[in-house]
Amino acid sequence: ENGIGGINSLLKIGDLPTTENNYDVIEASDSSIYINVSTSNNQCILFWNNHRIDGHNGLYKIPKIAYARKRSHVRIWIASSNGNVSDFLIPLEFGAIVKNTGQLSRMDKHNSVLYFALVDRFANGNPKNDAPLVDDEVHPKANYWGGDIKGITEKIKEGYFSGIGVNTIWLSPITQNPMYAEREFPPPHRMYSGYHGYWPISASKIDHRFGNEAELKELVSNAHKNNLNVILDYVSNHVHEDNPIIKENPHWSTPLVLPNGKKNIRIWDEQRLTTWFDEFLPTLDYSKPEVVELMSDSALYMLRKYELDGFRHDATKHIPSVYWRTLTKKIKLDIRQPIYQIGETFGSRQLIGSYVRSGQLDGQFDFNLYFDLRNTLASNNGSFIELYESLKSSFSNYGNHSLMGNITGNHDIPRFISYAGGGLSFMEDEKKAGWSRKIEVLDTLGYRKLELLTAFITTIPGIPTIYYGDEIGMPGAGDPDNRMPMKFTNLSYQENKVKRCISDLIHARRNRMSLIYGDFQLVSVTKKTIAYTRTYFKESTLVLLNNSNKEVKVTHQNTEFQVLPYSYKIIFLEEL
């Protein structure tokens, strides 16, 4: 017996479809890169910072201008006549190729691993600023719990984030929200507080329930001392109706009532750029230049004043590109360090990708890939074959070395382990479930599947993003059940085990150039298994995932590797 309800058996994965490299070798010196392609039919194209470099007999000289820059990048595409493409991104340091992760810093965007801390639910460092609403209609799940800026600072000092291995803290919105509850427009019309921070009464004033300006500056200072970035969740799409911006300029909102008399609330697609999130949250009209200027100046003010390292942008698809281009231009002209901007859009890859452009955002969260990953691991009919097709679609739309966010979950969807651990069904209403019963991990197999999910997102191109509590397998149904207070103590055996595993995965990624910058190549894929490599010069990492109840064998380069049921294996090939 295998301890998870089945019997161990062995499944051998033999000669399955593979992708072959289009080159024999890529070598580098401090001044040049040598590429020996496999056949004369293959084509190689090389760029330095978007400037094409011509080579001779496979030798490409790094331009002299690169030696004056702390960081620049070389991009290489090698295409074969059969359509297979190898894609390399190579960082340079003063013109010399970066050979190891010790040369990287928190300023290198591809080196980022994000951790999303929902401020009110994370850690309470100053109980004196606690101010939950006194309103019998507000359920405790929808009220303030006391988490604050100081609590996160304390966790930075304790080494919690560094211990996990993340290097970027994403803070939920911290500007002033109303002191009273609001009734949600959709049935059953529950009452909520603004504990989450997404109902801004001010674009810049810190909500006193979270702290003050000095405490935010202290948080950022301590983060930087510990080699951590801080990015702020910034709300540009809408304001609360009591925000002076809209009270003094009511004509700056989009229409609440459509010409047909219907209220323009949560019509996400047909009225994408005008719809309101609720009756008390006017959407700003970005067809007005004065709105674009004011809101982009407000965002820039926050970056400057608190020395932040970037933004997570709420409701990206509901804001026209003119705003993103204006803000990004101001950032590039005003701030002389890398600023990472990642957006939130639920929609098609084409829509998501339309905001990931030069002059707009660095990336967005890849929700389409996440939902396919969740289906592969947590449902009975999922398939790695379908997941690989989804991954290829992401590569096609965003590039093979994108800065898209690959998530364990987020605050708007049920926690992954709730499905994988049997506490929640795909067939039920996730919000209703969260209000009607306590969601628990009923099957400990869910923890192993959470490890598989994290193994995948930490070994593919993109930016791994951990939602607070996922590192210990906290369960939760729909919002707000997926936003319960963080648990730091009295962890169970399974919670400690998954935390160690996720920490090991993140540290492995942070210490392998191939997992940060390497070319992705599929080795094999079946319904229940996938194997792939990431290669950066002579460093190559083989990743094996097994989502079946059988032990499997995978052969790569004449070597056979065994993978236990519901497990993964990461092999450093250059060490064999």
SS (H, E, C) 269-328: CCCCCCCECECCECEECCCCHHHHHHHHHHHHHHHHHHCCCEEEECCHHHCCHHHHHHHH
Indicate the pTM of the whole model. Answer: 0.94
Note the pLDDT of residue 25: 58
Specify if 359 maps to a domain.
Answer: no
Note the pLDDT of residue 6: 34
Range of the domain at 539: 10-97+517-575
Specify if 564 maps to a domain.
Answer: yes
Quick check: 280 and 243 in contact, CB under 8 A?
no
Specify if 524 maps to a domain.
Answer: yes
Specify if 317 maps to a domain.
Answer: no
**Residue whose tokens read 């008390």:** 280
Instruction: Please tell me the distance from the alpha carbon of residue 43 to that of residue 23, in angstroms, as a whole number.
Output: 10
Specify if 553 maps to a domain.
Answer: yes
Specify if 51 maps to a domain.
Answer: yes
Specify if 568 maps to a domain.
Answer: yes
**Residue whose tokens read 């010069």:** 537
Specify if 83 maps to a domain.
Answer: yes
- Per-residue model confidence as pLDDT tens for the chain (576 residues): 333 333 333 344 443 334 455 555 577 777 788 887 655 567 899 999 989 999 888 899 999 999 999 999 999 988 877 777 788 999 999 999 999 999 999 999 999 999 999 999 999 999 999 999 999 999 999 999 999 999 999 999 999 999 999 999 999 999 999 999 999 999 999 999 999 999 999 999 999 999 999 999 999 999 999 999 999 999 999 999 999 999 999 999 999 999 999 999 999 999 999 999 999 999 999 999 999 999 999 999 999 999 999 999 999 999 999 999 999 999 999 998 999 999 999 999 999 999 999 999 999 999 999 999 999 999 988 899 999 999 999 999 999 999 999 999 999 999 999 999 999 999 999 999 999 999 999 999 999 999 999 999 999 999 999 999 999 999 999 999 999 999 999 999 999 999 999 999 999 999 999 999 999 999 999 999 999 999 999 999 999 999 999 999 999 999 999 999 999 999 999 988
Note the pLDDT of residue 8: 37
Note the pLDDT of residue 555: 93
Note the pLDDT of residue 19: 46
Instruction: Please tell me the distance from the alpha carbon of residue 465 to that of residue 482, in angstroms, as a whole number.
Output: 16
Q: How many folded domains does the chain comprise?
A: 1
Quick check: 98 and 513 in contact, CB under 8 A?
yes
Strand, coil or helix: 117 = strand
Checking DSSP bridges between strand 96-97 and strand 191-192, what pairing results, if any? unpaired
How far is residue 82 CA from its own chain's centroid? 33
